[in-house]
Amino acid sequence: MTTVDPRRDPIEPHGSRSVVLRVSEVITETADACSLVFEVPVELRERFDYQPGQFLTLRIPSELTGSVARCYSLASSPHTDDKPKVTVKRTADGYASNWLCDNVRAGDQLELLPPSGVFTPKNLDEDLLLFGAGSGITPVMSILKSALSSGSGKVALIYANRDPESVIFAAELRELVDKHPQRLVVVHWLEAVQGLPSVEKLAALAEPFADRRAFMCGPKPFMDGVHDALAQLGVPRNRTHAEVFNSLAGDPFADVAPVEVSAEEAADAATVEVELDGEVHNLNWPRSQTLVDIMLSKGLDVPYSCQEGECGSCACTVLEGKVEMGNSEILDPEDIEAGYILGCQAKPVTDHLKIQF
């Protein structure tokens, strides 16, 4: 009897948004981290154009649930690397990360969603202050390489790890410092030597670069410390950007069911003016539906991934009007105060709204 190996035998995507790509290379980064490099066929390259700091959502098979979905940042740079690469680090109870590190080999296939995410600089010529801890270095590395290759500003990286053996991209960072000694500063923090980084120590490390735009990614305690350190230094909240990932419970690979709206609900719908990719769309927005649902029902290519309020892909800004949200924990109170919302969680409160992606 012939068995089908879903990693090597041809497989079909589970939804219209997902694609199947072959892994061209698996790179061992450290004892508990590896990078997966993907081969993107010519017909899919436009869909896989990405910005520095974005991520891919991977579908990982599971005997218990059929599959689980996880977001992994692109450590590659669209300005320096021919193929997209994500880096995966094992975690103690991380089924998906452990499965990927244990099972995936060059030549295997994986199902994934195209690049997404808003953790990306709008201007690579700005001076940047980057923070990474553990596997949080992955999107930060993408930004760092892109800025050095295609920007003109200076870059400082503060990079925290457990010990020297756990430093992902250590050799590549040394090479980049040697190549750009006037533009790149890398400061390593090793917990085994220096203990956990306190707010005061993070502030001291960041102080020489406090006039720069900041990007951070890592475990929540580290990011909380960085936020507090930058606040102590007077860095405006709108100049700090954080990437946060949480495990996804739903199935972002499944196609979204069409929105069904009753006549009564349609009559009471709000109206919304949505700016997306420079174009303005005027839509009716039934009050029981999320903004992402309504935009998808109109055939708009709205940015989204998880639809659970956990990845931040659908973050946008309310310019006029008011919404209510379900899960919005990924947003800081300062983000919400500034008008940021999650399109997949937002439902209208006022009769008219203006929103910008």
| Confidence at residue 341, expressed as pLDDT on a 0 to 100 scale | 95
| Confidence at residue 338, expressed as pLDDT on a 0 to 100 scale | 84
168 three-class SS: coil
User: Which pTM does this prediction carry?
Assistant: 0.86
| Confidence at residue 309, expressed as pLDDT on a 0 to 100 scale | 87
Q: Which of 340, 324, 297 is nearest to 118 (CA)?
A: 340
Give kind and range of the element (H or E) at residue 98.
helix 95-103
**Residue 149 CB partners (closer than 8 Å, separation 6+):** 77, 79, 80
**Residue 180 CB partners (closer than 8 Å, separation 6+):** 148, 155
Give kind and range of the element (H or E) at residue 291.
helix 291-297
- Mean pLDDT of residues grouped by 10 in the chain (357 residues)? 50 87 98 98 95 96 84 97 97 91 96 91 97 98 98 98 98 98 98 97 98 96 96 93 79 79 89 94 95 91 85 91 90 83 96 96
Give kind and range of the element (H or E) at residue 263.
helix 263-267
**Please, are residues 160 and 136 in contact by the beta-carbon 8 Å criterion?**
no
| Confidence at residue 11, expressed as pLDDT on a 0 to 100 scale | 78
| Confidence at residue 231, expressed as pLDDT on a 0 to 100 scale | 96
The residues that bridge with 320 in the sheet, in sequence order, are 354
Residue 195: Cβ within 10 Å count: 10
| Confidence at residue 263, expressed as pLDDT on a 0 to 100 scale | 87
Give first-to-last CA distance, the chain, whole Å: 52
Environment class of residue 292 by beta-carbon count within 10 Å: exposed (0-12), middle (13-18) or buried (19+)? buried
